[in-house]
Amino acid sequence: MIKVTIIGAGSIFTKEIVVDMTNIPNLGDEVTIGLIDIDAGRLDLAKQLVEKIAASSGRKWKVVASTDRKNVLPGSQFVINQIEVHGLQTVKFEYEIPLKYGVKQCIGDTLGPGGLFKTLRTLPAWLDIIRDIEKYCPGCVILNYTNPMSAVTLSTIKTTQIPVVGLCHSIQNTSSQLARYLGLPYAELKWRAGGINHMSWFVELTHNGQDMYPLLKEKMKNPDLLRKDPVRFDAMNHLGAFVSESSGHFSEYIPYYRKREDLIERHCGIGYNGGTGFYANNWPKWRQENDEKIARRISGEEEIGFESSNEYAAIIMDAMINNEPKVIYGNVANTGLIENLPDSGVVEVACLIDGNGIHPTHFGKLPEHLAALCRSNMAFFELAVSAVLNNDKEAALHALMIDPLSAAVCSLDEIKAMFDELYEAEKPYIAELH
């Protein structure tokens, strides 16, 4: 009997994960899918969708759902975290208040003012969930999809012995993009990457033994290609390696691209390429559209595709259940894996998965200038997580003071004023810090 429980079941990931599970060999019918969400309406939609996916694929899987975790967690071998905490209530605060201080975010869910306050509102809820996981299914493996990925994974590592791996799709997506940019079959492109979530570096990129970076730099001279990924191509040109997250996300994690309007206009495109306010102005609509899409799939108005996605959750399940070794990129504790990044932090490296669990692989050293950019982000995550774990308001403030984007735009006085204004606005949604 296999039991997989998804917390935050109303999320967009649920459909992909369950469809991917239908493609796991030898899984059979002895499977229970547990669904948990505090929104009863979205939970019901998720339950109907999962039941339809199972039935349409000919699986006699049991589906259980509840707004109360203790009714679902017991017996789970895999617990998938994809929660969103008070996002609808706070998305405008986290964009509009920093904007008053000149901090122009594109996404704002990992670093920056938005990332900090998402950490402050997400971690208390997640730590409560961890305590229930320890109580009801201590033998499970936690697969985390919730952003801020590094902060959520780091808080998990600091508070429980239960194995955890943070899962993103940026490595898969970016390696596929690089193959397209180079005009190469994906299977023929060889690469090696490491760093932290949303800032892993493709330090090697080869085809038939030849370095592909000279060709990529030549191709980026084409204005049409440059417009597809403006920030990442510019950073690669100067820093020597392509980074794993989109131009819009990445533009917020370093101090060079969003500190002046002329730089935003020069380097940042629209949408995910760096458009100011892209996430805040669109996410509530996307959330509603996702619910409507689920309803159409349940009714049969829209087909449910059964092709596997590039998400890692089912790959991990397959490797562990069938003892078929697989390689994924996961966010894990840095136990010397990347030698010039802090051991206290979370890094993103290749991990071997088999019947014995998750085995992160040794990466070695990043080029020092790339490691330095990762370290600044890791310090932010360490302070933000410590703020919640130690009920330390000053640590949260210090996290914002060393945030690359905020520091590039604001003085320390301005950062403190921005922090205080955000803290007051979000008091109903975050744990009170002292």
Angle at 22 between CA 21 and CA 28, to 5 degrees: 100
DSSP 184: -
Angle at 360 between CA 354 and CA 364, to 5 degrees: 145
Orientation angle between helical segments 393-402 and 412-425, nearest 10 degrees: 130
Taking Cα atoms as reference points, which of 352, 354, 334, 353 lies closest to residue 344? 334
C-alpha–C-alpha distance, residues 60 and 65, integer Å: 16
130, 381, 253, 87 alpha-carbon torsion, rounded to 10° = 40
**Phi, psi dihedral angles at 84 (to 5 degrees):** -130, 125
Which amino acid type is present at position 186? Y
Is residue 169 annotated as part of the catalytic site, yes or no? yes
Whether 149 contacts 126, CB under 8 Å: no
Q: CA-based Rg of the chain, rounded to a whole angstrom?
A: 21
Concatenate the DSSP letters of all residues of 313-338 into one string: HHHHHHHHHHT--EEEEEEEE-SSSB
Catalytic residue among 86, 169, 207, 359: 169
Which is it for strands 199-207 and 242-243: parallel, antiparallel or unpaired? Answer: antiparallel
Which residues are marked as active site? 169
